[in-house]
Structures are given as C-alpha cells and as structure tokens.
C-alpha cells in the first residue's frame, strides 16, 4: 500500500519585495530549493493569488526564506504556504522545442 505523504503547511510571517519568510512547524521545514505554493484562500484580496516561491535559506526556529517567482503585491502575513515536496520543474520535450517560457514553464 502506498505511503500517504502530508504536505507541510506554513504561514507567511514577512514580505520584503520578492523575499518571503514563512513559518513552518519545527520538524517540517521544506528542503532548500523546494518550491512553496502560496495562495490567498481565506483572505479578501482584489484578485486571487497563486504564487510559487523557492526556498533559499533556513533561518532557524521553523522559518525559511523564499524568493517569489511572481510579484508579491497583495501578499500579507498569515497567508497559507504549502511545501510542494520538490523543486520547481519545467516540462521538456518535442512540444517545448522553439518555445519561450518563464522560470515556471508558463
């Protein structure tokens, strides 16, 4: 029977430009270079936010420092951030030859 993996969920504690600090439970820090998915679910914002950030540093005491791959306009403390369990990936193959993509593969 496959093992069920529960994603670590944290909350934003600080936003300075593209840098986002996220608080996780002490034993559940995402690895460096893992991607973190941030949403505005449960918050009143003009447009729903769906942001991917990459973990760059472990700050201690359950905090990680991430760099956002999109604008952080509208992010506020307390928003949910979920560890995806892996790094940012981009599709490759015949379908992507000759295409221009951003760092997220869009």
> Each residue of 65-93: pLDDT tens digit?
999 999 999 999 999 999 999 999 888 88
| DSSP H or E segment with residue 55 | strand 50-60
> Which residue ranges form the domains of the chain, and what is each CATH number?
9-88 (2.40.10.170)
Quick one: which of 95, 32, 88 has its CA closest to 64? 32
Residues of the chain with pLDDT under 50: 1
Give pTM, 2 decimals: 0.85
Rounded Cα gap, residues 44 and 4, in angstroms: 32
Tell me, what's the pLDDT at 105?
A: 78
Partnered with residue 19 across adjacent β-strands are 16, 67
Quick one: which of 17, 32, 18, 29 has its CA closest to 81? 29
In the block, residue with structure tokens 């030859």: 97
């Amino acid at each position: 029977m496959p093992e069920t993996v529960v994603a670590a969920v944290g909350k934003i504690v600080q936003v300075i430009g593209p840098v986002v600090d996220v608080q996780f439970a002490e034993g559940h820090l995402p690895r460096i270079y893992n991607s973190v998915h941030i949403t505005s679910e449960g918050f009143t914002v003009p447009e729903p936010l769906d942001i991917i950030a990459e973990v760059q540093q472990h700050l201690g005491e359950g905090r990680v420092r991430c760099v956002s791959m999109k604008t952080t306009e509208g992010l506020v403390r307390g928003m949910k951030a979920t560890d995806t369990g892996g790094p940012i990936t981009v599709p490759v193959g015949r379908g992507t030859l000759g295409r221009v993509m951003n760092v997220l593969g869009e």
